[in-house]
Homo-oligomer: A and B are copies of this chain.
Amino acid sequence: MSKYIKGTRKKAGKSPGTLIHVGDYTSENIELTMIEYNKGFSKISQLDSIEECFSMKETDTIKWVNIEGLHDISIIEKIGKKFNFHPLMLEDILNTNQRPKMDDYDDYIFIVFKMVYYNEEVKEIVTEQVSFVLVDNYVFSFQEFKGDVFDGVRERIQSGKGNIRKLGADYLIYALVDSIVDSYFFILEQIGNTSEDIEHKLMEEPQKEVLQSIYSLKREMIYLNNSIWPLREVIGNLTRTDSQLIKQNTVLYLRDVYDHVIQVIDIIESYRDIMSGMLDTYLSSISNRTNDVMKVLTIFSTIFIPLTFLAGIYGMNFKNIPELEIPWAYPAFWAVTIIIVLVMLDYFRRKKWL
């Protein structure tokens, strides 16, 4: 549960604008990759130092600089100095507990997003913060860890398919944002599968573990919901921005992504309804089971308790029990017993307990 607030305290009490990396993961190397492209060509290069990408500032190619790993603060500082970024923005890049948001600093646009993916190892949804800075024809993307959901975008740039190479850096931003929103659909699909599994278990005899599954699913929905709502706001703001950096044509595409975000929200809403239904089903199944157990007990008890009483009668040692002397008394006793059993069974059958 602590993941909802992890790390936020590390900074408390520090001066705002102080660059401190707030995150879990500081062992790996930081990877710097630059993709440079225009209509005619594209080139991927691994950078040894961040300064390498500054030199091309004057060329008119579009440059996507991807920084994977945030623990080397000096990289952020160098970029900040070179492009004259606001210290608060640099701080926000490093604070990986940011709420998704967009800040429009006239000369550049800063966007923070949450990328979601399913971690196969720990079997739970993991989110990773990605920040984008759009400045001139540079797009900087800052990720916490290696690995992302942008491979489709890379491929399109390299192959030159679609119009990604024909359009500007703002279109690249759109393409990246689109990939992130798509990652939500992927997660929802997996949640859909899990949810179907649970439903099947609910149809049969549901065990206590089912409740756990429903709640862990529900918690994941809460988590997703918390990530997607600010996304909606951010993308909505992007479509309405009057920044010079986002061209009118790209706004059209962003509106499309906006529709997808709304759709994600709708699906999440539906799943929440469905899950609360599953919960009710589970609870009513417990009640039904208690009911079934009670019926078995009641049937057995109400049949045999009177019979035991009857047997008890003729086990009494009274001097003078005339029935005991009758020769056909014992078979008669059995006959009565069987009749009582049949009457009771019929009674229960009519009550639909059998």
The smallest beta-carbon distance between A56 and chain B, in angstroms, is 25
> Per-residue 0/1 for A145-173: is the Cβ within 8 Å of any B Cβ (1 yes, 0 no)?
00000011101100001111000000000
Q: A15-B164, A211-B281, A309-B311 are in contact. Are A274 and B329 (CB under 8 A)?
A: no
Q: Which residue of B lies closest to A15 (CB)?
A: B162
The smallest beta-carbon distance between A59 and chain B, in angstroms, is 24
CA distance A179 to B333 in the complex (A): 76
Q: A266-B226, A314-B318, A329-B318 are in contact. Are A4 and B290 (CB under 8 A)?
A: no
Contacts of A205 in B (CB 8 A): 352
Contacts of A289 in B (CB 8 A): 291
Copies in the complex: 5
Partner of A316, one of B14, B304, B314: B314
Please report whether the interface of chain A is mostly helix, strand, loop or mixed according to DSSP: helix
Partner of A294, one of B218, B293, B319: B293
Partner of A1, one of B162, B274, B317: B274
The smallest beta-carbon distance between A301 and chain B, in angstroms, is 6
Determine whether the beta carbon of B316 is less than 8 Å from that of A305: no
Does residue A307 face the partner (Cβ distance < 8 Å to B)?
yes
Contact segment of A38-46, A128-136, A183-191: A183-191
Partner of A13, one of B182, B262, B300: B182
Residue positions of A touching B, CB distance < 8 A: 1-2, 4-5, 8-9, 12-18, 86, 88, 92, 97-99, 101, 103, 151-153, 155-156, 161-164, 174-175, 178-179, 182, 185-186, 188-189, 192-193, 195-196, 199, 205, 208, 211, 215, 218-219, 222-223, 226, 230, 252-253, 255-256, 259, 262-263, 266-267, 269-271, 273-274, 277, 279-284, 286-291, 293-298, 300-302, 304-309, 311-330, 333, 352-353
Query: Could you list 6 further interchain pairs (A-B, Cβ under 8 angstroms) beyond the known A1-B274, A226-B266?
Result: A17-B162, A215-B281, A219-B273, A283-B284, A286-B287, A314-B318
